[in-house]
Chain A
Amino acid sequence: EAGVTQFPSHSVIEKGQTVTLRCDPISGHDNLYWYRRVMGKEIKFLLHFVKESKQDESGMPNNRFLAERTGGTYSTLKVQPAELEDSGVYFCASSQGGSGHFSDNEQFFGPGTRLTVL
């Protein structure tokens, strides 16, 4: 069974440009999460989809970030326009249905996309 995949693995862009990151979750997983790790800091939650709906986007840093999950399958995270502080590794994770407080469904992580904004 294929794991969580992310594309691209690396992206180097200039400040002010637009970048779109893609995540393909494990087939059948309703929950999809985006996280980000800025260098030297902890991995931080960005947002959570349940199927195609945004369950929680409290971690999104600002309105330059737009996440979508059309059809409840793959997800994209667009940064427009990119700023220097957006550099970091963006992780995607997915888990089976049932993300509520009684569920301990394991989150499976992708390898991440390393974004560098120059």
Chain B
Amino acid sequence: AQSVTQLGSHVSVSEGALVLLRCNYSSSVPPYLFWYVQYPNQGLQLLLKYTSAATLVKGINGFEAEFKKSETSFHLTKPSAHMSDAAEYFCAVRIYGGSQGNLIFGKGTKLSVKP
């Protein structure tokens, strides 16, 4: 069965510092991987996705993630945090090769950015 683990329910960084949000997945087949962000009172917004093309994926707002099959990881990074990055971030996996379209989510990581 597929699963997603996000290390750290809360991460706090200073403005301008590196953002690193960790995600590990478990999948018996090659997965599609996604990062979503949720700002207060809004729906989930897609940041980026991995669909078996380039292993380094660039997304919106300066975020990127690298798919590492050997480590079953898909960590999200941003070189320099901005106050507007404060939100909750979700890593998700979708089965590649399955008939279902649903996403399997991690528990989420709340990012705080200190001035």
A59 to B102, Cβ gap below 8 A?
Answer: yes
* Closest A residue, CB atoms, query B5: A42
**Chain A residues with CB below 8 A from B90, complex form:** 43
**How many residues on chain A are close to B (CB under 8 Å)?**
31
Give B34-66 interface residues, CB cut-off 8 Å to A.
Answer: 36, 41-46, 49, 51
14 CB-based A-B contacts, threshold 8 Å = A42-B105, A42-B107, A42-B108, A59-B102, A91-B43, A95-B101, A100-B99, A101-B99, A104-B49, A104-B94, A108-B46, A109-B43, A109-B45, A112-B43
Give A23-74 interface residues, CB cut-off 8 Å to B.
Answer: 31, 33, 35, 40-45, 48, 55-56, 59
**Chain B residues with CB below 8 A from A44, complex form:** 105
B residues with a Cβ closer than 8 A to A are: 4, 32, 36, 41-46, 49, 51, 90, 92, 94-108
**Chain B residues with CB below 8 A from A105, complex form:** 101
A residues with a Cβ closer than 8 A to B are: 3-4, 31, 33, 35, 40-45, 48, 55-56, 59, 91, 93, 95, 99-101, 103-112
